Amino acid sequence: MSDYYEILGVTRDASPEQIKKAYRKLARELHPDVATGDGSEDRFKDVSRAYEVLSNPEKRQAYDRGGDPSAPGGGMGGGFGFQDIFETFFGAGQATGQRGPVPRARRGQDALVRLDLELAEAAFGARRELQVDTAVVCGTCSGSCCRPGTSPRTCEVCGGRGVVQRVARSFLGQVMTSAPCAACHGFGTVIPDPCPECSGEGRVRSRRTLTIDVPAGVDTGTRIKMTAQGEVGPAGGPAGDIYVEIREREHERFVRQGDDLHCTVEVPMTAAALGTVLDLETLDGVRELDLRPGTQPAQVITLKNLGVGHLHAGGRGDLHVHVDVQVPTTLDDEQEELLRRFAELRGEQRPASSVSPTHPGVFSKLREKLSGR
């Protein structure tokens, strides 16, 4: 009786998975459709017989005891069905049966373009021009891929089906498989005389200028879709889309948080105490800022509807003005005397100490809000 373990090249304590793996390797090498050497067909039969016994737990147990491996309980070994056999010889994922030819024209790829905007453009919206390098339909062949005056020809290998079929023999019988035609790459037609302008692609590279209307309220990271403005597909296929990603430049005076704007104004101590009217530069031009008498450091004055436009919702955010009261660091004799006299009048020569929470500046507040604290 033959040593089936030796035929498969495995040890007597090999696992079922190791036995299956060894069999599949040998079956690929020795199958009559592949092997050409003398005796390969006999070896293939021996390998198949060894696997039939060792892959079946009952037959393997009987064989290990020296019994008759052809006892009932045969058939193909456990865990090795038709799918395993098919994959062994023809590879996973190939479908039996016929497919039609694939279309030569396919959709083009989408493209991502970045657009830098100033704060005012993001706040109010803008019309901008973009220079993009994309694939466009070939002007010489109009996407046909052929030299003008010629046309595609039906593939002689597959007869226009785009696939070829073959019948392979196995120890289970005949198995029919189909695969894309290598001559026409599955298209069913060939281009005998390609267009000289696009080399048979049906498209060429070109620089185009596009106009985009940016809506009010966009922010860094906002993407605007320009439908069918991307690359034209092979053979003049439908164009993909262009996505324009907004990047907002930092502003020298304003900090944006959502649709609101924040800025800081510096005022002298006397102006904060007595009150004053300042000219404040906003995105809408100069506006008067009324500081009431007794304005405190870090006080916030809100100007309604002077922020950024609400995207898709209408209306605008607000402008928040943070007051930074400037305390003089140097005084001449007269100024110092006047302040001392002022302190005496208010009874503040030796003010009582008191501890109150500090007021963080505008940028500290923004950092805390943005970080979720």
Neighbours of 332 (CB within 10 A): 8
Mean pLDDT of 95-99: 45
Number of structural domains found in the chain: 3
The domain boundary residue, chosen from 194, 226, 247: 247
Task: Please report which confidence band the pLDDT of residue 94 belongs to, taking 50, 70 and 90 as the band edges.
Answer: very low
- Which H or E run includes 333? helix 333-345
For 157-185, the pLDDT digits (tens) are 999 999 988 776 665 566 777 888 889 99
Was 184 annotated as part of a binding site?
yes
Torsion from C-alpha of 145, 146, 151, 153, nearest 10 degrees: -70
Was 155 annotated as part of a binding site?
yes
d(CA 231, CA 240): 5
Q: Are residues 104 and 239 in the same domain?
A: yes
Q: Are residues 236 and 103 in the same domain?
A: yes
Count of H-run helices and E-run strands, the chain? 9, 15
Residue 291, classified by CB atoms within 10 Å of its CB into exposed (0-12), middle (13-18) or buried (19+), is buried
d(CA 176, CA 80): 20
pLDDT score for 23? 87
Was 158 annotated as part of a binding site?
yes
Q: Are residues 338 and 225 in the same domain?
A: no
For 245-276, the pLDDT digits (tens) are 999 999 999 999 999 999 999 999 999 999 99
The domain boundary residue, chosen from 247, 270, 304: 247
Q: Are residues 51 and 106 in the same domain?
A: no
The HSE-up count of residue 300 (CA atoms within 13 Å, CB side) is 14
Task: Give me the CATH number covering residue 70.
Answer: 1.10.287.110
Domain range for 14 is 4-90
d(CA 156, CA 163): 12
Neighbours of 157 (CB within 10 A): 12
d(CA 66, CA 221): 74
Q: Are residues 58 and 199 in the same domain?
A: no
Dihedral (CA of 53, 74, 90, 31) sign: positive
Judged by average pLDDT, the poorest of 118-122, 292-296, 357-361 is 357-361
Q: What does pLDDT average to over the chain?
A: 83
Q: CB under 8 Å to 198, separation ≥6 — which residues?
A: 138, 140, 141, 145, 204
Q: Which residue has the tokens 């737990």?
A: 57
CB 124 within 8 A of CB 216: yes
Residue 133, classified by CB atoms within 10 Å of its CB into exposed (0-12), middle (13-18) or buried (19+), is exposed
| Listed residue (286, 280, 284, 249) closest to 264, CA to CA | 280
Q: Are residues 99 and 237 in the same domain?
A: yes
For 13-65, the pLDDT digits (tens) are 888 889 888 888 887 777 655 555 666 777 878 888 888 888 888 888 877 77
What proportion of the chain, given as a percentage, has pLDDT over 70?
79
Amino acid identity for residue 162 in this structure: G
Neighbours of 255 (CB within 10 A): 19
Q: CB under 8 Å to 233, separation ≥6 — which residues?
A: 105, 106, 107, 108, 109, 203, 239, 240
Was 141 annotated as part of a binding site?
yes
Mean pLDDT of 122-136: 95
Task: Give me the CATH number covering residue 152.
Answer: 2.60.260.20
Q: Are residues 222 and 106 in the same domain?
A: yes
309, pLDDT greater than 90: yes
Was 263 annotated as part of a binding site?
no
Was 146 annotated as part of a binding site?
no
Q: Are residues 130 and 86 in the same domain?
A: no
Was 181 annotated as part of a binding site?
yes
Q: Are residues 98 and 84 in the same domain?
A: no
pLDDT score for 92? 38
